[in-house]
Amino acid sequence: MPVPHVMSSDAIREAFSAAMSAMYRNEVPAYGTLMELVADINAATLEQQPGLRASLEATETLDRISQERHGAIRLGTEAELAMMRRVFAVMGMFPVGYYDLSEAGVPVHSTAFRPVGEEALKINPFRVFTSLLRLDLIADPQLRDIARDILNRRRIFSDGAVTLVEKAERDGGLSPEDGERFVTEVLGTFRWHQQASIDHALYERLHAAHRLIADVVSFKGPHINHLTPRTLDIDAVQEGMPRYGIAPKAVVEGPPSRNCPILLRQTSFKAIEEHVLFPNMDGGLAGGSHTARFGEIEQRGVALTPKGRGLYDRLLNEARSKVRPTADGSNAQDYGTALRDSFAAFPDDWNAIRKAGLGYFLYSVVPGADLSAHAGADIESMIEAGAVRFDPIVYEDFLPVSAAGIFQSNLGDDAVQDFMASPNQKLFETALGAAVLNEFEHYAGIERASSRQCLAAARALSAAA
Ligand code: OOG
Ligand code: NI
């Protein structure tokens, strides 16, 4: 039987992220402006740093440097989350990590759907940070029931999208024609609806309970709320935003700027206020507004081990207990100083980070190295002899404190609210219909496989000699 002609899941993801980018730029012009700024800063950075350019040329496609790395959506029901998992699977995106945001005053818990293998990440790294609303955290039982009812009645996927997901699952992929149709059908789920699905009075009630609840419950679908290109110099973009006419959030989330970047730094422009139409009882429409959509940028560094992450969390908490960044940016400089002071305790040298067991690294045999002398040797001595090199493994996931900061600054900073911290990964995974991949185990596995490969190569060579 001839092998059926399938569109690879990587190619579908690539087409999907390009379509999302075009749609979002069109829907949110300020996002297009941010993309221009990012492209300008990235070009200037590459010009100023020929070494960086050379290493990026060797490892990545330069013309894709400024492309989107992730986006985010907020879902309303377990059924929506379960179906979303199947939709993303068609695009080679799988749930990695569990993030409890209730702790930070946001009534959701989340995962990120992302490509997992190195090859897939390289072809197209697009991820979607996906949150599920925790209706159980709404205090007013009557309002909770109303919200649940509205959410249970909406249909966020088109019949065409559902049919194509079932077809892909049955046949193990989609033809190029079906793949294109799939992208078009699925794209519709993420578009913006200028018309709300509830009246203004109910919107106000939901909004008073939490702005995020209003954002999820009031519309026909889970509009994409931001996209995030990669920048080579996040501080320059943060500083450049006002010059381009866009308002940055008060501070960059995550670690401070360092020689050896760790984890993830991110910032955004503040969500825009948009005109929305609310249906009336009498069949007419009333004007109003809603604030939810923004643009973000990210810069990634090495993935940290549980020990490294423990140190990161401790230092971040220390800085934040000294200076809590305010929404208006009035203490942004003090916060920056506190952050740098705290993080002086985190080694800023790749080998020191590695030797202290703080980060994950990929080991490889140096091309042309003579391995025959290293038969029974361990990795350390092969590194010292210059036969094995190590490169940081990039952190491809998210950070709950940073995510909360991104949420907060885009939900209106005055609206900080306390919820009982109640992580519930089991409940989340039951809704999802699958377990999420543990990101630490995943990075550890990549590191372990790479060092084993180096040892095996040395053994094989000395056996042959
Ligand atoms: C998601 C915020 C989290 C990130 O980059 O940490 C996020 C949201 O606002 O829905 O995207
Ligand atoms: Ni984001």
Ligand 1 shell residues, CB under 6 Å: 72, 74, 129, 131, 225, 266, 296, 398, 402-403, 406-407, 410
Distance 111 CA to ligand 1 centre (A): 10
The residue whose CB lies within 8 Å of the most ligand 1 atoms, and thus the one to mutate among 407, 408, 409, 413, is: 407
Ligand 1, atom 9: closest residue by C-alpha: 407
What DSSP character marks residue 192? -
Ligand 1, atom 1: closest residue by C-alpha: 72
The residue whose CB lies within 8 Å of the most ligand 1 atoms, and thus the one to mutate among 102, 109, 398, is: 398
Helix (H) or strand (E) holding 265: strand 264-269
Closest ligand 1 atom to 410 CA: 9
Distance 175 CA to ligand 2 centre (A): 31
pLDDT of residue 100: 93
pLDDT of residue 2: 43
Three-state DSSP at 230 gives: strand
Ligand 1, atom 3: closest residue by C-alpha: 403
Closest ligand 1 atom to 402 CA: 6
User: Tokens 């038969």 — which residue?
Assistant: 375
> What domains lie within the chain, and their CATH numbers?
9-301+397-434 (3.10.180.80)
Are the C-beta atoms of residues 198 and 278 closer than 8 Å to each other?
yes
Tokens for 200? Answer: 């203004």
Cα–Cα dist 133/146, whole Å: 14
Distances (CA, A) of 458 to 368, 369, 453, 463: 13, 10, 9, 9
Distance 410 CA to ligand 1 centre (A): 10
Nearest by Cα to 154 from 223, 54, 228, 237 = 223
Distance 431 CA to ligand 2 centre (A): 22
Distance 293 CA to ligand 2 centre (A): 11
pLDDT of residue 418: 64
Q: Which ligand is nearest to the CA of 271?
A: 1
Distance 71 CA to ligand 2 centre (A): 6
Are the C-beta atoms of residues 253 and 232 closer than 8 Å to each other?
no
The residue whose CB lies within 8 Å of the most ligand 1 atoms, and thus the one to mutate among 249, 399, 402, 406, is: 406
Tokens for 287? Answer: 């004007």
Are the C-beta atoms of residues 202 and 219 closer than 8 Å to each other?
no
Nearest by Cα to 68 from 126, 130, 10 = 126
Cα–Cα dist 24/326, whole Å: 29
Ligand 1, atom 4: closest residue by C-alpha: 403
Say what the pTM is.
0.95
Tokens for 397? Answer: 């996931």
Distance 129 CA to ligand 2 centre (A): 7
Residues with CB under 5 A from ligand 2 (ion): 72, 228, 296
User: Tokens 């590194």 — which residue?
Assistant: 383
pLDDT of residue 56: 84
**Average pLDDT of adjacent 10-residue blocks, the chain of 465 residues:** 75 97 96 95 93 82 83 98 98 97 89 95 95 92 96 98 98 96 98 96 94 95 96 95 94 96 96 95 92 95 97 96 90 95 98 98 91 82 93 95 86 62 87 97 96 89 64
Distance 376 CA to ligand 1 centre (A): 47
Tokens for 76? Answer: 């309303």
Find the helix packing angle between 159-171 and 176-187, rounded to 10°.
140
